[in-house]
Structure 1
Amino acid sequence: MTTLTKHPPAAAHKAPQRPGRGRRMAKLRDVRIALLFILPAMIGLVAFCLVPTIRGVYLSFTEYSILGEPEWIGVDNYTAIFQDELFWNAMAVTLQYVGINIGLQTVIALGLALLMHRVAKSTFVRGALLLPFFVANVVVALLWFWMLDYQLGIVNEIISWLGLPRIAFFGSEQWAIPTIAFVNVWKHMGYTALLIFAGLQAIPHHVYEVASLDGASHTRTFWSITMPLLRPVLALVMVVSVIGSFQVFDTVSITTGGGPINATRVIQMYIYQKAFGESDFGYASALSVILFVILALVAFIQMKFLKGNESDLD
């Protein structure tokens, strides 16, 4: 009598598929798709940022004008910079501008953000605060240059009508840098206030309720709750604002051109004049590298001491 042997189905002979393999394949597909979308931005970053940066660092060690080939001179440009009185004057002027601009902009923007958070609930009012930010820097500079003109400006007309002496806002060594700082504060305070307002929105409301139940005043609540919880956003705002302030150029170029004398010759203006005014691209590249290092150090110090990567909400 023949015994029939039952064979298991063919599927039973297949090795069981590892459960993690499918997930890895799906992640690999997601990475490929993500890289495909990132590729155009990466090409632009390499072509317009990375390559010019590397070339700029190379040119900083050369003597180069646009009419000839770069000639390697080592660190001579950097040695000359530290003995250049105009460089130190430009740094002093830039630091003066940064101090005025950051101080005013941060305080005003914080006040506007608190008003938007507690008083101005209208979207129209909040949007109106951003309007100056969307106006081109050149237009803003020209507008205020005309308004603050010594002879025909409406501001000096009002000052004269009040019986006070006219002020040469852009023509005085004393007033030029504070005036330029004020113009840029007016333009950027709405955007800065919006960033701070977003940070205020992220603070849980129940924290304020507990403080109110404990009898904390508005001043105590602001300094003990709002400011500590707002620290990461303020750190970001400070870093962005300081970097932008060190790079001020267009307002100075339109209004004073670096004058009177050297009262508004900021570091970016000095770099521009060396490169395109004197065709000394090697020296200008060395100035740019020094400015890059300064900004990197300032950003690192700010994030380190302000603890921008930490939050008291954790």
Structure 2
Amino acid sequence: MSAIIERRRAVSSPQRGTPARRRRSGDLRVAMIFLLPATVGFVGFYLWPTLRTMYLSFTEYSLLAPPEWAGLDNYRRLLQDRQFWNSLRVTVEYVVINIGVQTIVALGLAVLMHRLTRSGLIRGVLLLPYLVANVVVALIWYTMLDAQLGIVNQALEWVGLDPVAFFGEQSTAIPAIALINVWRHMGYTALLLFAGLQAIPKTVYEAAATDGASEPRIFRSITLPLLRPALALVLVLTVIGSFQIFDTVAVTTKGGPVNATRVIYYYIYELAFQRFTFGYAAAICVALFAILASLALMQLKLLRADQTDLD
């Protein structure tokens, strides 16, 4: 009897070298080949620079001499650096304006596309500003908002208003930069939210319409709750991207006037490539990494990105 049982087990269990096992092994090799370029790129351009930056943050380093171990000196300097805290405050101001306006406008565009039209042409037009390089967009708007020759100030004069130095005044410089980036990114953000809206079943809207719910009530009670996972992802991505603002500032205000637009990325650039204090710049990079990681985790937790009301 035991011999019969062992024979049945041998027949029922997969054998080494069977076609199914060989096929799985071949699929694994093919997958590893396709993943290899991405892995090399990740290690070479992300992982290694991150580890190198963390090491340099504990050193005194310039291009003229090898790194010298400094322990926590750079981090102590960071805590007492008023310019660092000012750049962080300016960056937070930019992020609040950019994310607040961009999210509201993009959400409105996404809902309009979802409820009124799903034309591919309209989606393409909304995406056009995002396809233009950020530096080009910044230079175009810098010219249009010029206090002397800009078409925007000429239009203000035509209606009897005084011209505004959008990039020359401390109170308007950061809002101007933030709204420029809102104009460029709102179409892309709207398409991300539109993709989330498409995942909401039509039967939910049909049931609400049958019950006589108005469009504002449908938006508050159905669209926003069911869109929460997609909205959480979009907010995390846009907040991280907004903290990395650099190019618009670099080609317009260069941190001015009077440090009003010296965002944290531009401050890091100045420290590293103008003052050659690479160790201290690396310490600020590590601090920024910790801030962004904490913000991302906090957003995902508060917005319950892993849960959906469809269940």
Scaled by the length of structure 2, the TM-score of the pair is 0.94
* Number of the residue aligned with 1:195: 192
CA distance in 1, matches of 2:73, 2:22: 55
Contact kept? 1:120, 1:126, Cα under 8 Å: no
Determine the structure 2 residue equivalent to 1:153: 150
* 2:55 equivalent to 1:44: no
Aligned residue number for residue 18 of structure 1: 13
- Mapping of residues 207-218 of structure 1, within 5 Å: 207-218=204-215
Equivalent residue pairs, number: 303
SS at match of 1:175: helix
How many angstroms apart in 1 are the aligned matches of 2:110 and 2:205?
17
Alignment of 1:43-192 (within 5 A): 43-192=40-189
Whether 2:285 is the aligned partner of 1:288: answer: yes
Aligned partner of 1:260 among 257, 262, 285: 257
* Aligned 8 A contact 1:177 1:264 in 2: yes
The equivalent residue for 1:7 is none
Q: Kindly, what percent of the aligned residue pairs are identical?
A: 60
Counterpart Cα distance in 2 of 1:160 and 1:187: 26
Structure 1 residue 117: deviation in Å? Answer: 1.1
Deviations 1:204-235 (A, max 9, x none): 00011111222222111111111010000000
Instruction: Choose 1 or 2 for highest CA Rg.
Output: 1
Q: Does the CA-based 8 Å contact 1:199-1:230 persist in structure 2?
A: yes
How many angstroms apart in 1 are the aligned matches of 2:172 and 2:71?
40
CA RMSD for the aligned pairs?
A: 1.7
Q: Are the counterparts in 2 of residues 113 and 193 from structure 1 also a CA contact under 8 Å?
A: yes
Give secondary structure in 2 for the equivalent of 1:129.
Answer: helix
Whole-angstrom distance in 2 between the partners of 1:217 and 1:207: 14
> Segments of 4+ in structure 1 off by > 3 A?
19-26
Distance 1:102 1:20, change over 3 A: farther
| 1:153-190 superposed Cα distances (whole Å, 9 cap, x missing partner) | 00000111111111000000000000000000000000
State the TM-score, normalized to the length of structure 1.
0.93
Tell me the distance in 2 between the aligned counterparts of 1:139 and 1:181: 15
Alpha-carbon offset, residue 27 of structure 1:
2.8
Residue 126 of structure 1 deviates from its aligned partner by 1.6
1:11-41 deviation digits (Å, cap 9, x = unpaired): x9xx536237544443333222211110111
- CA positional deviation for 1:137: 0.5
Q: Secondary structure at the match of 1:63?
A: strand
Q: Displacement of 1:121 after TM fit?
A: 3.1
1:246 matched to 2:254? The reply is no
